[in-house]
Amino acid sequence: VLTPHLSDLDAHHRDIHEVMRVGNYYISSDSGANSTNVLVAGQMYASPIVVARDITVDRIAIQVTLLAAGSSARLGIHNDGVDLYPGSLLLDAGVVGTAANGMASIVIDQALTKGLYWLTLIGDDTPTVRSYIPAEAVLGFEAGVNAFNNKSGYWQVAQAFGALPDPFTAGGSQKVGTTIAVGLR
């Protein structure tokens, strides 16, 4: 018979996602190998992020790997809606430049409670940004002949560049392949 000590329960039964290093960025919890994606102007992307405990974040960012002259992207956070689809707008963080390679971040002060959120992005041009190949099928697998080969990792929907919509634009498509990396710190 195993009799746990109450003092050991927290150390041995803690959710690894609750441990977050101050000063580091975090992206979707299903992150796999690094990759890149070319943004499509007039398209909005939403990547899921699971927040395992109440936190306050001070930055939201993307990494530009191939610039597009004079371009920018708008970043934000949407609450979870119905059926793993983004819902109401929590934060429209503003615009970052994507006309230079490197990290593009916005200072924020946003409290998040434990739960699922959607990190959102709209671009006005076609820069290439850091993405990742999903390690898990957070949105499940698309139905079809090769269903278990197609991990759905994010949502994409037509949306004119400008303020983030509230709620998230309806009619998005589940996307397979690499997922846009929007990070919180």
Angle CA(104)–CA(177)–CA(95) in degrees, nearest 5?
20
Per-residue pLDDT tens for 99-112?
A: 999 999 999 999 99
This prediction has a pTM of 0.88
Query: Element (H or E) spanning 174, and its range?
Result: strand 173-176
Domains, the chain, in order of start with CATH, read 29-184 (2.60.120)
Per-residue pLDDT tens for 51-94?
A: 999 999 999 999 999 999 999 999 999 999 999 999 999 999 99
Joined together, the tokens standing for residue 149 give 């080969």
Alpha helix positions (H), 39-172? none
- Per-residue pLDDT for 3 more than 50? no
